[in-house]
Amino acid sequence: MTSALLCTVDARGVATLTLNRPAVHNAFDDALIAELTAALKRLGADPAVRVVMLAANGKSFSAGADLNWMRRMAGYSEAENRRDAEALAELMRTLNFLPKPTVAKVQGPAYAGGCGLIAGCDIAIAADTAKFAITEAKLGLIPAVISLYVIAAIGERAARRYFLTAESFDAAEAVRLGLIHVAVAPARLDVAAERICDLLVANGPAALTECKNLVHRVSRRPVDETIIADTADRIARIRASAEGREGIAAFLEKRKPVWKG
């Protein structure tokens, strides 16, 4: 039986999780949600893993929810639907707050929950031929669980349009909105994604985790005495850490820090 999720880790410590349901456009069901959540948690806790890249096989990145899963959900009670929604919410939270940098490599269309997965990653690289849409309203549904992450990526104003119209948009618009950072020709997608991974593994692993925490802490917070004190505490702690001392020493001594081998 073919696995719905493939996982590899290269010599740099870059782990690649590949959605592997090309026949159904990498749509996810309850089983894939559970498998992906468990894999992310495992990789997040593995000190040998430096970066996690989310990719997909086939023509599509992800079409969102699997139709057969949706058929089953149609017969669920509200409580059963709540449990399913909580499982997806746990996946999105795990991805968004993973202590390692995450990169989405988007080779094809991403719809509904597929856009949620992209928004939950720190960096997103897409083929310039990819299409995007937040399509839940077409089915009489709402993008509730993914909304936290998609709105953070594209902003409230754009979310009002694309949540309500469910229209598709191209990679150039996805870049303009902030859902995608870079769009490249399909033949250049692997190279562009690998370049980002090389940049990430060149940096201090603890610093990357702390950078992610910093963004989550200060985003959309008022600049008051509490947040100012918090940021001062953070940099003082990092400067005094073993990694911080090594990074500064390596710079002054004109050598590579230990995490770069």
Residue 14 is predicted with a pLDDT of 97
- Measured CA angle at 75 (ends 73, 77), to 5 deg: 85
Q: Answer yes or no: 136 catalytic.
A: yes
* 74 and 192 share one domain: yes
Which tens digits make up the pLDDT trace of 130-172?
999 999 999 888 999 999 999 999 999 999 999 999 999 999 9
Provide mean pLDDT across the span 107-118: 96
The answer to whether the beta carbons of residues 153 and 179 sit under 8 Å apart is yes
* 109 and 140 share one domain: yes
Residue 261 is predicted with a pLDDT of 62
pLDDT greater than 90 at residue 129 = yes
**For residue 252, what pLDDT band results from cuts at 50, 70 and 90?**
confident
DSSP annotation of 258 reads G
Residue 136 is predicted with a pLDDT of 92
**What is the rounded average pLDDT for all residues in the chain?**
93
Which tens digits make up the pLDDT trace of 192-207?
999 999 999 999 999 9
The neighbouring-strand residues paired with 110 are 62, 132
Domain total in the chain: 2
* 222 and 158 share one domain: no
> Which token pair is 113?
């929950």
**For residue 70, what pLDDT band results from cuts at 50, 70 and 90?**
confident
Q: What's CA 241's distance to the chain center, in Å?
A: 28
C-alpha distances in Å from residue 178, one per residue of 81, 152, 220:
31, 9, 16
CA–CA separation, 13 vs 63, rounded Å?
29
Catalytic: which of 86, 90, 136, 225?
A: 136
CA–CA separation, 257 vs 261, rounded Å?
7
* 134 and 244 share one domain: no
The answer to whether the beta carbons of residues 77 and 29 sit under 8 Å apart is no
Residues of the domain holding 188: 5-201
* 28 and 51 share one domain: yes
Report helix, strand or coil for 86. Answer: helix
Residue of 14 and 221 predicted with greater confidence: 14
